[in-house]
Amino acid sequence: MKSTTIVFDAITVKRQSTFAFDVWYANHYLRPALAGGTFAGARRYGSPIRGAYLTIFEVAQGASGDPAAGLRPQHELIESVERYVGDDLGEHRAPGVDDGILEADIAYPVFFRVPAQHEKEFNAWYDEEHMRILLRCEFWRMCRRFRIRNPGPQTWTHIALHYLTDLRALESKERDEARATPWRERLAKHEWFRGEYRVYHRHGGAMGRG
């Protein structure tokens, strides 16, 4: 399942967290969220380095209002919550790749803070050059791009959600090439261009409404 709006929902837990939090997260957080009708489904990820629980919620077609309004996790082991609603800016796939890639083992979100006056060029660079090069890598299969809805001051404005089949993608010659073009070097001179890069691994299968 794939929609045009997502909720990026990352929860960081205290280091002393236990298996009990996994049970609470699955049964008392995700299950009620998916039963409410706002989401068509979700995919769950984790980051051992960050101690993070990430769920990418796919917002149901026709859902109104703020899709993240009902997500209010409360647990003594939660250290912080990071949440963004993203609206579709398009996607890029390698030749022959179908929706099965949504179940890829690795999600690689990249966050940017793009000023409005630079958004047109930023989008053109990402769509016309950057992804064209990255998708030559056999492990770099798809990217979904989103504009963050109602970003506040000093928060991210864009998410590029990459789907990888192997972490060797991040050491590939294609990635090196994509990061060394004259167009990218010109954009990289701007302070705002410095993004944040994260790696998350799939946790279980896709989840649908309960």
Kindly report the three-state secondary structure assignment for every residue of the chain: CCCCEEEEEEEEECCCCCHHHHHHHHHHHHHHHHHCCCEEEEEEEEECCCCEEEEEEEECCCCCCCCCCCCCCCCCCEEEEEEEEEEEEEEEECCCCCHHHHHCCEEEEEEECCCHHHHHHHHHHHHHHHHHHHCCCCCEEEEEEEEECCCCCCCCCEEEEEEECCHHHHHCHHHHHHCCCHHHHHHHCCHHHCCEECCEEECCCCEECC
pLDDT given for residue 131 in this prediction: 98
For residue 27, what is the domain's CATH number? 3.30.70.100
Most confident range (mean pLDDT) of 74-83, 147-156, 185-194 is 185-194
Q: Predicted confidence band at 210 (pLDDT cuts at 50, 70, 90)?
A: very low
Give the C-alpha separation, 89 to 160, whole Å: 9
Give the C-alpha separation, 28 to 13, whole Å: 16
pLDDT given for residue 149 in this prediction: 94
How many domains is the chain partitioned into structurally? 1
Percentage with pLDDT > 70 across the chain: 93
Pull the structure tokens for residue 150: 């109602």
pLDDT given for residue 16 in this prediction: 65
Question: Do 109 and 159 contact (CB within 8 A), yes or no?
Answer: yes
Give the C-alpha separation, 169 to 30, whole Å: 30
Query: Tell me: the pLDDT tens digits for 85-124?
Result: 999 999 999 999 999 999 999 999 999 999 999 999 999 9
Mean predicted lDDT score pLDDT of the chain: 92
Range of the domain at 57: 5-208
Of residues 181 and 208, the one with the higher pLDDT is 181
